[in-house]
Chain A
């Protein structure tokens, strides 16, 4: 295992661990809420990418902008969104961040820098160049972090926006979270997919003269190092940067609807026997949360019992958030007619 912990104080590492646990337990409960019929519609989870989101978001300032996609729960929670309000939004309740108008695909939290979350895979990429353009024009040193998946590069909006960002030297970091590493039936080092001719994906931003790197997205140390360096360069006026983080897809999302192979418990970091055969290898070798937990303990930054207590505390807070959301009323039907215009 080549993963290393970020070179950060112990409290910061524990904070990373806390945020990753919040995301994981939130989404596992979300899947349960869906399966129990508590909300309609399709949805996507961030499980398997927690190390990327948490480490990347930790590099931002409080007033920076973040754009995310249909796979946004991890980004919002990683930035400190209230799990209760996020559950409420996904359940279509009045206390949701978008007052029930957005749902899972469009959860936005303007106060945290998430102005608008698009459910179209590349929809945010031009928008992110726009907030970056505004920051440059207003000279307020704000950086925009634009998080999207590998599939977003297949839409025309992506290359148009990359060109504009490069041409006008805009302060934006494109974070391409490629969760298709070693995708089904694909050998390492071969073309990434049958839908993208460009491989590696970073050849696309490089063609537009945007410096680009590929890193292991389950390695929080690598993500933190790469993103903090890129954000510093961008804030200093260097123009856009592009980082591709590669993660191995969580086996629970291989089906159309997310399905949990086994509920997460940090003891899996040392013993994956409880995981069904088919999913065991992912939990053993690729789960960024379990890797992080294992390393924290190995580096003597935390004891197992301490992390187990943290996990229990987080599970309780997620249960409380779930109760809050389930108790939140639905919006009044006629509220559908409000807020079409400012």
Chain B
């Protein structure tokens, strides 16, 4: 179906639909936690849903380590738990269970035991989150083999990727962003599971490839629209999942344009952009017409005050500068 024929939904509505359908379709699905739609007023929708499934939507104590381990164990024994960690920073409280138990279970058992658990969190600069409520842990998690990492950026993607996350037999980190919740876009009426490991070109362009993840996809699309009026055609490619990674799709765009900017909210050093840049340089250095540019969060703890937070994040201005720099 072409997106022109589809109804339009807000991101939070598409995500809510996915949660509602998943709960209705599969009794093995249990949701642990209550901020899947964030703490915004949209959470009312979720609390109504929770009321309909009192045995399968649980409000746990503030024990991230405990309930992430509980969900992992429940997954090993046949359930499909989805754990809400709320703010991405809180996954650090659960780190041993996520990266040392869940991620290793299948491999370490020699393929005997699957742990199909989903860890859901909101990452990134949310506006005033400061250093302890703004983390983007996906680069650290990418350094832990055994975890699938999913980063939706549109209403259609959040619904379709959540469906796939539930069906996956692996531990999956579902990384959302509160700034996406009000984004509107086409979403098919029918059930659609978007496979992991399939990137999407969110905007076609011939001059520069911008690889962006999560909320940075939307920001890059805004920048691409502005630059088009200056005659610069930016191609925005969204990997949608880091693990598995659709590297061929990224390289296809890089080979077309020869110029790459990577926009991502993890910190710059050893971040998502760093890894993507390294892979592109290894695979296609001779196709590049300019050095790869990263637009990532600067290497400082996230500050509280608005101008400070704006300064360190991958702002529109920094994306524009980077695109123009690779065109020089």
Which A residues form the contact surface with B (CB < 8 A)?
65, 96-102, 106, 108-110, 115-116, 118, 120, 123, 125-135, 137-138, 142, 156-157, 160-161, 163-164, 167-168, 338-342
Minimum C-beta distance from A112 to chain B (A): 10
Given contacts A98-B112, A341-B169, A342-B114, 18 further A-B contacts (CB under 8 A): A97-B112, A115-B76, A116-B108, A116-B109, A123-B97, A126-B67, A127-B70, A128-B73, A129-B70, A131-B76, A134-B73, A135-B77, A164-B63, A164-B70, A338-B111, A340-B107, A341-B148, A342-B169
* Residue of chain A at shortest CB distance from B148: A341
Known contacts A163-B61, A164-B63, A342-B169; is-contact A130 B72 (Cβ 8 Å):
yes
Minimum C-beta distance from A282 to chain B (A): 34
Which of A131, A338, A342 contacts B170 (CB under 8 A)?
A342
B62-93 to A contact mask, C-beta < 8 Å, 1/0: 01011111111111111101000000000000
Contact A108 B112 (CB under 8 A): yes
Please tell me if B301 contacts chain A, counting CB pairs below 8 Å. no
- Residues from chain B with a CB closer than 8 A to the CB of A109 are 112
Please tell me if B47 contacts chain A, counting CB pairs below 8 Å. no
Contact B110 A98 (CB under 8 A): yes
* Residue of chain B at shortest CB distance from A122: B96
Q: B-side binding surface: helix, strand, loop or mixed?
A: mixed
- Residues from chain B with a CB closer than 8 A to the CB of A135 are 77
What 4 A-B pairs come out closest when comparing CB atoms?
A130-B73, A126-B69, A160-B66, A98-B110
Minimum C-beta distance from B65 to chain A (A): 5
* Residue of chain A at shortest CB distance from B63: A160
Contact B108 A101 (CB under 8 A): yes
Contact A126 B169 (CB under 8 A): no
* Residue of chain A at shortest CB distance from B69: A126
Known contacts A101-B108, A127-B72; is-contact A156 B65 (Cβ 8 Å):
yes
Which of B55, B67, B74, B111 contacts A134 (CB under 8 A)?
B74
B174-210 to A contact mask, C-beta < 8 Å, 1/0: 0000000000000000000000000000000000000
**A118→B70 CA distance, assembly (Å):** 14
Contact B68 A137 (CB under 8 A): no
Contact B70 A161 (CB under 8 A): yes
Which of B70, B100, B148 contacts A123 (CB under 8 A)?
B100
Contact A340 B66 (CB under 8 A): no
Sampled A-B contacts (7; CB under 8 Å): A115-B112, A126-B66, A130-B69, A134-B74, A134-B79, A339-B111, A342-B106
* Residue of chain B at shortest CB distance from A331: B110
Please tell me if B268 contacts chain A, counting CB pairs below 8 Å. no
Contact A126 B110 (CB under 8 A): no
* Residue of chain B at shortest CB distance from A106: B108
Contact B110 A116 (CB under 8 A): no
Please tell me if B60 contacts chain A, counting CB pairs below 8 Å. yes
Which of B73, B111, B145, B148 contacts A127 (CB under 8 A)?
B73
- Residues from chain B with a CB closer than 8 A to the CB of A106 are 108-109
* Residue of chain B at shortest CB distance from A129: B70
Within 8 A of A (CB), among B97-141: 97, 100-101, 105-116
Contact A157 B113 (CB under 8 A): no
- Residues from chain B with a CB closer than 8 A to the CB of A108 are 108-110, 112-113
Contact B66 A116 (CB under 8 A): no
Contact B96 A123 (CB under 8 A): yes
* Residue of chain A at shortest CB distance from B105: A116
Please tell me if B146 contacts chain A, counting CB pairs below 8 Å. yes
Contact B108 A102 (CB under 8 A): yes
- Residues from chain A with a CB closer than 8 A to the CB of B66 are 126, 129, 157, 160-161, 163-164
Contact A116 B113 (CB under 8 A): yes
Which of A97, A100, A130, A339 contacts B70 (CB under 8 A)?
A130
* Residue of chain A at shortest CB distance from B71: A130
- Residues from chain A with a CB closer than 8 A to the CB of B159 are none
Known contacts A129-B69, A157-B65, A157-B96; is-contact A137 B79 (Cβ 8 Å):
yes
- Residues from chain A with a CB closer than 8 A to the CB of B259 are none
Contact A126 B65 (CB under 8 A): yes
Minimum C-beta distance from B102 to chain A (A): 9
**A326→B74 CA distance, assembly (Å):** 36
* Residue of chain B at shortest CB distance from A109: B112
Please tell me if B30 contacts chain A, counting CB pairs below 8 Å. yes
**A108→B72 CA distance, assembly (Å):** 16
